[in-house]
Amino acid sequence: MAILLQNLQLIQDRNILPPTDYCIVGNQLKLVENEDFNHYEKVVDCSHMLGSEGWIDLRCGLGEPGQEYRESIESLADSLLVSGFSKAVIMPNTEPVIQSKNEVEFVKSKSSEFLPEFIVMGAVTKKTEGEDLTEMLDMHYQSGLRIFGDGVKPLFNSDRYMKILQYLQRFNGILFDHAYDPLLGIFGQMHEGEVSTKLGMKGIPNLAEDVAIQKNLEIIRYTGGRVHFQTLSTAKGVEMIRQAKKEGLAVTADVSIYQLIFSDQDLTSFDSNLKVKPPFRGIVDRTALIEGLKDGTIDAIVSNHQPQDFDSKFAEFDLAAFGMSGLQTFLPAMVALSDELGWPFLIEKITSGPSAIIGLPINSWTIFDPSESWIYNEKTNKSLSSNHPWFGQKLKGKVKYVLQKGQLVKLDD
């Protein structure tokens, strides 16, 4: 079908181009110049809309297999699509854990029915318990995996960390590392600071993240290998990654978008939907994260989508599970940040930034209206979970179309 996109503003090369007409050729947009518009079977008015290459999420949680009530493969695919994401790295924290060729092939096979591409992260330790190593070589050579990590579980065993890097170097694999010392944050519920003291809650100090990053960087210096540090949240962590890059270490990093939106001050409401790990930090840390994004220390922004069922979140704060559902609120969060950071910069952190990390082309497009309002509720929610503090609220910013696999999918029907 010949489709014409009229008055679309594309974001390319850190610029927003003037409104222009484009036609769709396969998975690409072609500039239209002085053509007869009558031969197009469909004309889409994209006035007030922005377009960019398809978005990539480097950190996304899944429930299936084992916890389909939290998020099934189908519901996650629907959530990714309506949120503008064409690719997503899927963490291995399912039941059973994605730790062998069988689990990898199950997710890859079932997800292939849907438009968004699931990029599976294979676990590096059995049951993500941090001890016995998985068959990483088998998952790579049999299923093509290059991304490995234990997802939401930190790799705290230094010996295992070193051996994992040695294995992954055999095929240029990438370790996705959630750097965190669980003993330094044991029983912690939120960021350790003035607010946690006032609220009487056990805090998680910056030290829990800083010590883990420092230790892991020393291992990388000794062993070599590629590591992507996920969900940075502290000022010192950003500075250590910055110095490691200057040294020439093969490291990259990302930040959860909610770390740029919320702070520990927001937890005075005791809303368990705000209970996440790493926790919301203070103003100094947020400032450092923004600077890290601007100077390239932090390469990508992620949703850190961690769906939880109602019972896991509807509980006293100290009993509630960690994690926030973060896909459909991603664009509204970017809208909230757009005045401070600008659209070209934000889009870079979810397109070319993550694409360079995982070494995959994009070959898709996302078209969105940053000014359109909508209600995030039971009717519009595509996820099986709703654990986000904005649930039930009017949000601004809506994905309108996704062009992927030669299909232009309208998302607001």
More confident residue, 2 or 380: 380
Band of residue 38 on the pLDDT scale cut at 50, 70, 90:
low
Q: What are the pLDDT digits (tens) for 131-162?
A: 999 999 999 999 999 999 999 999 999 999 99
Q: For the chain, what is the mean pLDDT?
A: 95
Mean pLDDT of 267-284: 95
Tokens 């995996």 correspond to 145
pLDDT at 34 over 80: no
Q: What are the pLDDT digits (tens) for 322-360?
A: 999 999 999 999 999 999 999 999 999 999 999 999 999
The DSSP line for 318-360 is: TTSPP-B--STTHHHHHHHHHHHH-HHHHHHTTTHHHHHHHT-
Residue 59: HSE in the Cβ half-sphere, 13 Å Cα cutoff: 32
Which pLDDT score, from 0 to 100, does residue 61 have? 98
Q: Shortest CA distance to 293 belongs to which of 365, 358, 342, 250? A: 342
Mean pLDDT of 30-37: 74
Q: Per mean pLDDT, which range of 38-47, 188-197, 214-223, 263-272 is the poorest?
A: 38-47
pLDDT at 16 over 80: yes
Which pLDDT score, from 0 to 100, does residue 41 have? 81
Q: Shortest CA distance to 183 belongs to which of 212, 163, 213, 162? A: 212
Which pLDDT score, from 0 to 100, does residue 351 have? 98
Which pLDDT score, from 0 to 100, does residue 285 have? 97
Residue 277, C-beta contacts closer than 8 angstroms, at least 6 positions apart: 152, 180, 204, 322, 323
Q: What are the pLDDT digits (tens) for 71-97?
A: 999 999 999 999 999 999 999 999 999
270: number of Cβ within 10 Å: 13
Band of residue 39 on the pLDDT scale cut at 50, 70, 90:
confident
From residue 323, alpha-carbon distances to 17, 221, 258, 298 in Å are 37, 32, 11, 21
Mean pLDDT of 371-377: 97
Mean pLDDT of 363-388: 97
Band of residue 26 on the pLDDT scale cut at 50, 70, 90:
confident
Residue 243, C-beta contacts closer than 8 angstroms, at least 6 positions apart: none
Q: Per mean pLDDT, which range of 18-27, 37-46, 136-145, 223-232 is the poorest?
A: 37-46
Task: Tell me how far apart the alpha carbons of residues 345 and 376 are, in angstroms, rounded to a whole number.
Answer: 26
Q: What are the pLDDT digits (tens) for 176-228?
A: 999 999 999 999 999 999 999 999 999 999 999 999 999 999 999 999 999 99
pLDDT at 265 over 90: yes
Pair of tokens at residue 193:
């600071």
Amino acid symbol at 37: F
Tell me the domains of the chain and their CATH numbers.
3-47 (no CATH), 53-396 (3.20.20.140)
Q: What are the pLDDT digits (tens) for 386-413?
A: 999 999 999 999 999 999 988 899 987 6
Which pLDDT score, from 0 to 100, does residue 37 have? 61
